[in-house]
Amino acid sequence: MTRKCFFLPNLSDGEECVSLPRETVHHLESVLRSRPGDSIELRDGEGHAWEGVIEEIKGGAIRVRLLERRILHNESPLKVTLAVAIARSDRMELVIRQATELGVNRIMVFRAARSQYGLRGAQAEKKHERWLKIAREALCQCGRARIPEIMVLSEIEELLAYVPGWEKEEGLRIKVVALESKAEKNLLALTHSVPVCKQVMTVIGPEGGWSDQEVERFRKADFDFVHLGPRILRFETAAVAIVSAVQLLWGDFGGSIGEQLK
């Protein structure tokens, strides 16, 4: 059965009825063939869900009566920031969707030295809106409570300038860069020094790999370099692999394996 769950921001307890946006109306009418009396769920991306029932469908508009509000509790205890060098549009959209499903809290997009693409000005704003839309769809599909923050940065310098502020956030943390087979250790090795972790920043480079200058800059910023196995992974595969691994080691996939191995 198709999940009738939709994103609608700025909902409040005081509202009894809400009108749905045009795009949602089109999906309910043309795709799901919904009728008055059908139940749907609305999520605000800030940890709340509302059970609702379609009250009226008229003139290309749908009104929904809000019933019960629920507070959702399915976010990972591990706050994951995924920073990725910008790639082709279809691959970026896949990463945004999968990262949302995997529980990433923040997605940062930047241009690396060997990136084939870049975003500035109006083009960056347009992509940002597109990626937010994809994240909202993924949130409703997977039943997640909160929508990830999406940041579009210009260059790697902006990413590195962000790190000191991130390091001031509360909780034990690690920051890692995927470096293919050149890295001597894997993520599991980090659990010996950091068995319990609250925040992780993971960085995935462009398809052409990191430049020597970028590697040195990450080294000076005290990033750990890790490999993701003996095979070369595609950009989107590497992003999913590293997020899944940190969720297994420190997040809600495995319940802090590092602590279990102590």
Which has more pLDDT, 97 or 60?
A: 97
Do both 243 and 126 map to the same domain? yes
When divided into structural domains, the chain yields a total of 2
Average pLDDT over residues 167-189: 83
Do both 192 and 156 map to the same domain? yes
pLDDT at 255: 60
Do both 66 and 86 map to the same domain? no
Do both 153 and 29 map to the same domain? no
Q: What is the DSSP string of 30-89?
A: IIS---TT-EEEEE-SBSEEEEEEEEEEETTEEEEEEEEEEE-----SSEEEEEEE---H
pLDDT at 256: 53
CA 156/CA 162 separation, integer angstroms: 10
Work out the pLDDT band at 258, boundaries 50, 70, 90.
very low
Do both 9 and 122 map to the same domain? no
pLDDT digits (tens, 9 = 90+) for 75-105: 999 999 999 999 999 999 999 999 999 999 9
Q: What is the DSSP string of 114-170?
A: T-S----HHHHHHHHHHHHHHHHHHHHHHT-SBPPEEEEEEEHHHHHHHHHHHHTSS
Q: Percent of the chain scored above 70 by pLDDT? A: 94
Which has more pLDDT, 181 or 210?
A: 210
Out of 42, 71, 100, pick the residue that ends a domain: 71
| Domain CATH code at residue 134 | 3.40.1280.10
Average pLDDT over residues 14-31: 87
| Domain CATH code at residue 23 | 2.40.240.20
pLDDT higher than threshold 60 for residue 45: yes
State the chain's mean pLDDT as an integer: 89
Owning domain of residue 22: 5-71
pLDDT higher than threshold 70 for residue 235: yes
Are the C-beta atoms of 243 and 97 separated by less than 8 Å? Answer: no
Do both 57 and 84 map to the same domain? no
